[in-house]
């Protein structure tokens, strides 16, 4: 049934950095992603899969729901919680810098390792799941997203602050910067899978900035990650990113993989199911 829906996948290649490009109203993105940690000597390898439902509420408001889990080698597989985020594009028109406000509620446990953002010092990558899962984090997170399109380049900066209401950690901070560009800027008339226009390349730099109790980039995880996205068809995009840990608080390598399927006019399809004639 899904295959009959027309769609227009043109996803940002970033995994962590947000741009000002919003989901089109009424469209739904289904995303299946994993964050895979290659361990240091004192860590274990893990796979952290997550599902993301991204819906365009209006032209300037996008809402997303995440369900996430994690499986650690030689340990266990656990459900790590959910997140609900909302992004609002402040200005109605395109400017040199386009601000977007972001607010997210998280109900996670400490075993969460998808690392959609890094705040404070970063996640605990050494303790066993049995020790981490009982500790729940009810967290409110805000971001200021600044994003610019300069010719075919996108340059984005995200500044994060997060307050965990379950623990006395102060307010934690984080950052993400990203630059990306499509490989081809003209569209060919024929349908093709491997045309240059279907690929985007870029790089992200993201990490934690400590908290109000201990502010600064020291003792925090920081990653540099090249990113590539491939628009496989009108409605499908694949993204890949090998991230390289820059500090001891990281995994040496963090491999991210994502598949996105976009459904255009999702809200109308749902309305029809419930008898709407519009």
Partner 1 sequence: MSKVGFLGLFATLLATPAFAQNPQYQPDPEWRPPVETVARKNPLTARPELAGGGRKLFIRNCAECHGRDGAGMEKKHSADLQLPVVQQQSDGTLFWKITNGNAKRGMPSFSKIPELQRWQIVLYIRTLKPVQTSE
Q: Which residues lie near partner 1 (CB under 8 A)?
A: 6, 8, 10, 12, 19, 21-22, 24-25, 56, 58-60, 92-94, 149, 151-152, 154, 182, 185-191, 197, 234, 264-265, 278
Strands 28-38 and 77-89: unpaired
User: Judged by CB, which is closer to partner 1: 42, or 191?
Assistant: 191
- Report, in Å, the least distance between residue 249 CB and partner 1: 34
User: Judged by CB, which is closer to partner 1: 152, or 216?
Assistant: 152
- Report, in Å, the least distance between residue 190 CB and partner 1: 8
- Report, in Å, the least distance between residue 154 CB and partner 1: 8
* Residues ≥6 apart with Cβ < 8 Å to 131: none
- Report, in Å, the least distance between residue 187 CB and partner 1: 4
**CA pair distance 244, 242, nearest whole angstrom:** 7
User: Judged by CB, which is closer to partner 1: 20, or 222?
Assistant: 20
Q: Which own/partner pairs from 43-51 qualify as long-range (CB within 8 Å, at least 24 positions apart)?
A: 43/125, 43/126, 43/251, 44/72, 44/73, 44/74, 44/75, 45/72, 45/73, 46/70, 46/71, 46/72, 46/73, 46/113, 47/71, 48/80, 48/112, 48/113, 48/114, 48/115, 50/114, 50/116
Residue closest to 242 by CA, chosen among 257, 229, 231: 257
Residue closest to 221 by CA, chosen among 242, 244, 255: 244
Q: What is the DSSP string of 73-121?
A: TTS-EEEEEEEEEEEEES-SS--SSEEEEEEEEEEEETT----SS--BT
CA-based R_g, the chain, Å = 19
User: Judged by CB, which is closer to partner 1: 136, or 269?
Assistant: 269
User: Judged by CB, which is closer to partner 1: 4, or 42?
Assistant: 4
- Report, in Å, the least distance between residue 10 CB and partner 1: 6
User: Judged by CB, which is closer to partner 1: 67, or 195?
Assistant: 195
- Report, in Å, the least distance between residue 133 CB and partner 1: 38
- Report, in Å, the least distance between residue 155 CB and partner 1: 13
User: Judged by CB, which is closer to partner 1: 95, or 218?
Assistant: 95
């Amino acid at each position: 049934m899904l295959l009959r829906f027309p769609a227009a996948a043109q996803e940002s290649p970033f995994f962590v950095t947000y741009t000002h490009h919003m989901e089109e109203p009424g469209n739904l993105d289904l995303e299946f992603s994993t964050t895979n940690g290659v361990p240091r000597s004192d860590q274990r390898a893990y796979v952290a899969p997550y599902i993301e439902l991204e819906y365009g509420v209006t032209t300037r408001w996008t809402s997303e729901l995440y369900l996430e889990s994690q499986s650690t080698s030689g340990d266990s597989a656990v459900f790590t919680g959910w997140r609900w985020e909302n992004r609002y594009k402040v200005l109605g028109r395109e400017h040199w810098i386009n601000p977007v406000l972001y607010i997210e509620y998280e109900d996670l446990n400490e075993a969460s390792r998808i690392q959609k953002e890094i705040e404070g010092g970063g996640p605990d990558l050494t303790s066993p799941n049995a020790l981490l899962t009982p500790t729940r984090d009810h967290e409110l997170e805000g971001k200021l997203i600044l994003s610019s399109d300069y010719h075919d380049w996108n340059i984005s900066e995200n500044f994060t602050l997060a307050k965990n209401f379950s623990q006395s950690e102060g307010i934690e901070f984080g950052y993400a910067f990203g630059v990306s560009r499509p490989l081809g800027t003209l569209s060919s008339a024929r349908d093709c899978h491997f045309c240059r226009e279907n690929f985007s390349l870029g790089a992200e730099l993201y990490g934690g900035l400590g908290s109000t109790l201990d502010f600064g980039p020291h003792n925090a995880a920081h990653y540099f990650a090249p990113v590539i996205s491939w628009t496989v068809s009108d409605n499908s995009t694949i993204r890949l990113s090998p991230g390289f840990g820059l500090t001891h608080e990281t995994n040496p390598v963090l491999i991210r993989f994502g598949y996105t399927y976009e459904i255009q006019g999702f809200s109308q399809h749902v309305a029809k199911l419930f008898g709407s004639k519009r």
